[in-house]
Structures are given as structure tokens and as C-alpha cells.
Structure 1
Amino acid sequence: MIDRFKILLASSSPRRKEILQMVGVGVRIFPSDAEEKIYPTPEETAVRNAELKALTVKDKAKPDEIILAADTIVVFNGKVLGKPSNKQEAIEFLKKLSSNYHTVITGFALFFPNGKLVSGLEKTEVKFKRMSLKEIEWYVETGEPMDKAGAYGIQGIGAIFIERIEGDYFNVMGLPIGKIYDILTLETKLL
């Protein structure tokens, strides 16, 4: 059923593309150049930025394509940990996450050919193992943390530091595909 959907992904994230392809969705990439903004809450920030991304590429979609955009953020003690701006900031982020839980929030937006915009979010709790400073510095030197919210990638080397996940694994990768599938089938009445 899911292979009937044609998605224009408003993201350059290889992880989001991989998740869609993994479940058999036809996907075309057209990254949004929308400037992300900060809103009063992390939830609003993730959802509104996803909506903005989807709407900025609506003129690029083919008549049968559904636009999908997403914004993933990491929240620790009420503060958003974005993509680190340098190695030192990545080290500081990982020191905070070590031995602690944090929340991964992905806001997503689907823009349908009929002009309807449907958005939502998913939250997942993630607990890191205790990491020594030596492990943190080694991990940062791999380069993996530098382009990822919270300075880690669960689908890569960062997986070795994860102790527990409560919620959707794919949300932590950047796309809660189960929830998105439910909306796609509801909105297009395929089931």
C-alpha cells in the first residue's frame, strides 16, 4: 500500500530519504531553503519549522506528489540542543547527555495536492550511557556529531552510547514513519 505514495521530500537528510525508501515510498528530493526559527516551545518550533519547509517548496511538487517536511530537535532539561557549531560545543552537548535522558522531537508536515496541510509531532525519550571524556572526544573526532541535532546519530557510531529508547526509533533518526503512514492513509483513504 505505501508504495502508492509519491513524496517530494523537502529535506537533504540522507536518513529521511533512507527511511522512506526502506518502506517502499517513491521519493524525490527538493531541499527547502526555509530559515528555521525559534518559537516559544520546542514542540511549536519543530512543527512550525516543518510546516514552513513544506510550504516553501509547494511550487516544486508534481501534481501527484505529497510534500513531506520535518524538523528534528533534541531537548535536554528544557533547552534545545541544535547542531553543534564547533567541536567544543559538540563535546559540551555530549557531556550533558552522558548518563541522562533527553527528548527527541520531530515535527512533520504533509502538504497534499488538494492544498491541505497536515502536521504533527512525535516525541521519543532517549537515555545515554555514561560516557568518559575520552569517549566523547573520540566520538567528536569521528565527525559524526557535527551535523546532527544533539551532536549524535543513533543510526551510526552514536548507537554504542544509547542505553535505552522509550518511543519511536525512527523518530530519533528524524522521521516517525509509522505516524506519517497513518496520516497518509487517512488523508488519501487508501485503506
Structure 2
Amino acid sequence: MTIWRGQQKLILASQSRARKMLLENAGLDVETLPADIDERAVQKKSGLSAPGEIASLLAREKALFISRQRPGRYVVGADQTLALGQRMFSKPAGRAQAAEQLGLLAGKVHELHSAVSVARDGKTLFADVSVARMSMRRLSEGEIDAYLDHAGTAVTTSVGAYQLEGLGVHLFERIEGDHFTILGLPLLSLLAFLRGERLLAV
């Protein structure tokens, strides 16, 4: 049952199934319309290098891009970056790159910066970013290979080559941060904003 009180569905400017699931599980009426922007070009043009700032920029640009196409609609944009010290990671192109990334992350602490933005009629109404610190356990090459065998092509769909809600949970020994941040959407602050807009029944 939906608790969404908007006249039209909330638009999620993303093709992320995890983000859509989070919003639907929270009782929102959602449709997805991925933003067709060149993320790397936007990042390069901005000159930004801090992971949180990059995630915020991309979340904002995605929401604005779709909001200009859908007048009057509330549009949610989201993005997530993974940083190991000063090094940022992208989604691996295939198994070999996934294995390389996991080898670099194993035994270390990396950060996930998850950003969300809401736009309407080409204007940003809300933005937030949250951070989770992920302590990956030490992994042998054999353990990495076994994980990749079982996880399959799913490793190429998320930065860092893991989904914590799936087999990726086996890679970690400690996590600091909320579940929603790890899945790529600061949900609590987003819901608070939507509630302030009188778009939620609860």
C-alpha cells in the first residue's frame, strides 16, 4: 500500500534496482527514468576531486536532467562513489577488473559516499550526502576467485564489485554507516524532505 500523496508518481532518475526497491519498500509510488548524462564528462568539467562532492554533483545533475523533461514532477537523483584513500573506483568492466579491485580493497578500509538530490522544474530543492566506512577482510586470490565464481556478472553492476545485500556481505569484517547509505541512497533524510513537502501520509 502506498503512502505517497503526490498527484503523480515520484521519478527516480536511476536504473538502480536497489534504490527503487528501497523507495517502494518505504511505501512510495515510484517510476524510473534513468538520466542519460556523461558522468565522467560532468565530473571532469567540474574539476572536483573529493568523493563526496563528486557524488553530490552527479546526483544533482541527474535529477535536474530529468526534471527539465518532466515539468511539475518531483525527481530523485542519486549517486555513489567509492574511495580508498585518494583513489576512486568505478564499476568494473569485467571479471578481471573486479578481481583487481577486490585485491586492492582486501584488508583495508574504504569509504562509500552516497548522495541524493531532489529537483522539480529544473531547480534543486534538496540535497544530502552520507558516508559509510567499509572494512573488508583479508582475502586470498582463491577466495576472490571463489567469490567471483558465485557472484557472477552481478559484480559489474556496482562500484567495488560487491552488493552487500547479497554475497558481498561475506567480504567484510566491520561496517560503520547505515544500510541505506551502503545501498546508495540516504533514505532517512530524503523521506524527511518529502514529508516536509506533504508528499507522504506518514
Counterpart for residue 117 of structure 1:
125
Cα distance in structure 1, aligned partners of 2:134 and 2:188: 18
Are positions 1:86 and 2:94 aligned together? yes
Counterpart for residue 152 of structure 1:
162
Counterpart for residue 127 of structure 1:
135
Trace 1:14-33 onto structure 2 (pairs within 5 A): 14-33=17-36
Retained in 2: the 8 A contact 1:140–1:146? no
- With normalisation by structure 2, the TM-score equals 0.85
Cα drift, residue 166 of structure 1 = 0.8
Counterpart for residue 4 of structure 1:
5
Retained in 1: the 8 A contact 2:102–2:160? yes
Trace 1:1-191 onto structure 2 (pairs within 5 A): 2-5=3-6, 6-37=9-40, 38=43, 39-61=48-70, 63=72, 65-112=73-120, 115-141=123-149, 142-188=152-198
Deviates more, 1:123-132 or 1:19-28: 123-132
Retained in 1: the 8 A contact 2:23–2:30? yes
Cα drift, residue 138 of structure 1 = 2.3
Cα drift, residue 2 of structure 1 = 5.0
- DSSP-derived class of the 1:149 partner: coil
Cα distance in structure 2, aligned partners of 1:2 and 1:48: 29
What's the % identity of the aligned pairs?
29
Q: Check 1:187–1:143 CA distance in 2 against 1; reply closer, same or farther (3 A cut).
A: same
Cα drift, residue 26 of structure 1 = 0.5
Cα distance in structure 2, aligned partners of 1:116 and 1:148: 26
Cα drift, residue 134 of structure 1 = 1.1
Cα distance in structure 2, aligned partners of 1:4 and 1:59: 22
Q: Check 1:182–1:85 CA distance in 2 against 1; reply closer, same or farther (3 A cut).
A: same
Instruction: Calculate the aligned-residue CA RMSD, in Å.
Output: 2.1
Cα distance in structure 2, aligned partners of 1:130 and 1:98: 5
Cα distance in structure 2, aligned partners of 1:114 and 1:136: 44
> Which structure 1 residue ranges, 5 or more long, are not aligned?
none
Q: Check 1:116–1:107 CA distance in 2 against 1; reply closer, same or farther (3 A cut).
A: closer
- With normalisation by structure 1, the TM-score equals 0.89
> Which structure 2 residue ranges, 5 or more long, are not aligned?
none
Cα drift, residue 15 of structure 1 = 0.5
Give the number of equivalent residue pairs: 190
